[in-house]
């Protein structure tokens, strides 16, 4: 534990359970002295998120469905009753119909395309519109993306298209909000077994491939992502904005299968 985040207040969006990337980030921030608030989607998650928040000393646990503008307004209205200002925000939210996270991208339906873009891309912009107003002393925001934005990955399909748009939105928001000292970055995490990831076809195979072929010859953990998020969210990242930072055991620099990789 350290004091990097002492005196800083942050909102964590996208915690579902203790496997969530949001949990790795929340723990790293709390260990560094941050005061945290959490939002959860739907009543079913409330009873999971409240005890986890409690473990990190947080009593601020609020509902928010990011597909609904009124719900986002409600979240920030409620947050303001607890805090007058906000220092950082974590957006760890994505969603697509799992029937379209297999098979061909070209078969994506219009309805799921729009829904995936809405929940996985626009929601971060919508949230930053509200967060900006509370970040009176500047601030830092981090969202989560994946290499499927840059290269074809099996089954990632419409989510890859959405992550490409998310990364572009990070760059545009970095410009818009930079003048007010607000930094906006993305972490491109390697594959991690979470609830959201379980919807992706052949995910076990993808995990094995990354383990055998990444320079570090392992998969990353939510603790790895948490530590890198801490850098971007704290003063350590003061000169960094608009960036997509890979926390993927180096996989994104690899050109071909490793010569020592076993068959899978
Ligand atoms: P997760 O299932 O633990 O988290 C996904 C969260 O999104 C859940 O908390 C869910 O409630 C929330 N969510 C979905 N729709 C929502 C809505 N309409 N309103 C509010 N919240 C909503 O899985 P995770 O893997 O921790 O996912 C977090 C982020 O990390 C996602 O953006 C995901 O794409 C990204 N990511 C994951 C991996 C991986 O391999 N797990 C790799 C790179 C990036």
ipTM: 0.99
What pLDDT, on the 0 to 100 scale, is given for residue 177? 99
| Ligand 1 proximity of 26 Cβ (cutoff 6 Å) | no
Query: How far is Cα 62 from Cα 260, in angstroms, rounded to an integer?
Result: 48
Does residue 21 have a known ligand-binding role? Answer: yes
- Four-CA torsion 120, 126, 130, 135, nearest 10 degrees: 60
Q: Which of 40, 146, 231, 251 is catalytic?
A: 146
How long, in residues, is the chain? 264
Does residue 193 have a known ligand-binding role? Answer: yes
Which parts of the chain have pLDDT scores under 70?
none
Give the nearest ligand 1 atom to 15 CA. 9
Q: What b-and-e string marks burial along 20-41, b requiring 16 or more CB atoms within 10 Å of the CB? A: bbbbbbbbbbbbbebbbbbbbb
What is the sign, positive or negative, of the torsion defined by CA atoms of 229, 234, 236, 240? positive
Residue 144, both tokens: 């989560």
Strands (E) located in the chain: 9-13, 35-40, 60-63, 88-91, 139-145, 182-189, 244-247
What pLDDT, on the 0 to 100 scale, is given for residue 1? 82
161 vs 107, 114, 132, 147, CA distance in Å? 13, 11, 26, 11
- In the sheet that 88-91 helps form, which strands lie side by side, from edge to edge? 60-63, 35-40, 9-13, 88-91, 139-145, 182-189, 244-247
Q: Can you say how many angstroms the Cα of residue 168 is from the centroid of all Cα atoms in its chain?
A: 15
Annotation says 156 is catalytic: yes
Q: Which of 170, 152, 175, 182 is nearest to 245 (CA)?
A: 170
Query: How far is Cα 4 from Cα 236, in angstroms, rounded to an integer?
Result: 8
Query: How far is Cα 197 from Cα 219, in angstroms, rounded to an integer?
Result: 14
Which contiguous run of DSSP H or E holds residue 166?
helix 157-178
Query: How far is Cα 84 from Cα 57, in angstroms, rounded to an integer?
Result: 19
Query: How far is Cα 162 from Cα 244, in angstroms, rounded to an integer?
Result: 14
Q: Which of 147, 156, 231, 251 is catalytic?
A: 156
| Ligand 1 proximity of 32 Cβ (cutoff 6 Å) | no
Annotation says 146 is catalytic: yes
Radius of gyration of the chain, Cα coordinates, nearest whole angstrom: 18
Q: Hey, what domains does the chain have and what are their CATH numbers?
A: 9-250 (3.40.50.720)
């Amino acid at each position: 534990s350290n004091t990097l985040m002492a005196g800083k207040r942050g909102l964590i969006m996208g915690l579902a359970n203790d496997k969530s990337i949001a949990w790795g980030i929340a723990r790293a921030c709390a260990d560094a002295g941050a005061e945290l608030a959490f939002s959860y989607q739907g009543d079913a998650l409330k009873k999971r998120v409240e005890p986890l928040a409690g473990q990190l000393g947080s009593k601020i646990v609020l509902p928010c469905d990011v597909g609904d503008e009124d719900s986002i307004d409600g979240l920030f209205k409620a947050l303001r009753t607890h805090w007058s200002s906000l220092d950082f925000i974590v957006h760890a939210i994505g969603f697509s119909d799992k029937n379209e996270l297999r098979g061909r991208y070209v078969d994506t339906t219009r309805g799921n395309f729009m829904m995936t873009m809405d929940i996985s891309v626009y929601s971060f912009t919508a949230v930053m519109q509200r967060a900006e107003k509370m970040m009176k002393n500047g601030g830092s925001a981090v969202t989560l993306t994946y290499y499927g934005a840059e290269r074809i990955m099996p089954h990632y399909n419409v989510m890859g298209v959405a992550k490409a748009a998310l990364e572009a939105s990070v760059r545009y928001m970095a410009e818009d909000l930079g003048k007010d000292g607000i930094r906006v970055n993305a972490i491109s995490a390697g594959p991690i077994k979470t609830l959201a990831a379980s919807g992706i076809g052949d995910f076990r195979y993808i995990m094995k491939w990354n383990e055998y072929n990444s320079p570090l010859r392992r998969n990353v953990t939510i603790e790895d992502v948490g530590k890198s998020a801490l850098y971007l969210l704290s003063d350590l990242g003061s000169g960094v904005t608009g960036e997509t930072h890979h926390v993927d055991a180096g996989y994104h620099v690899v050109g071909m299968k490793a010569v020592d990789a076993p068959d899978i």
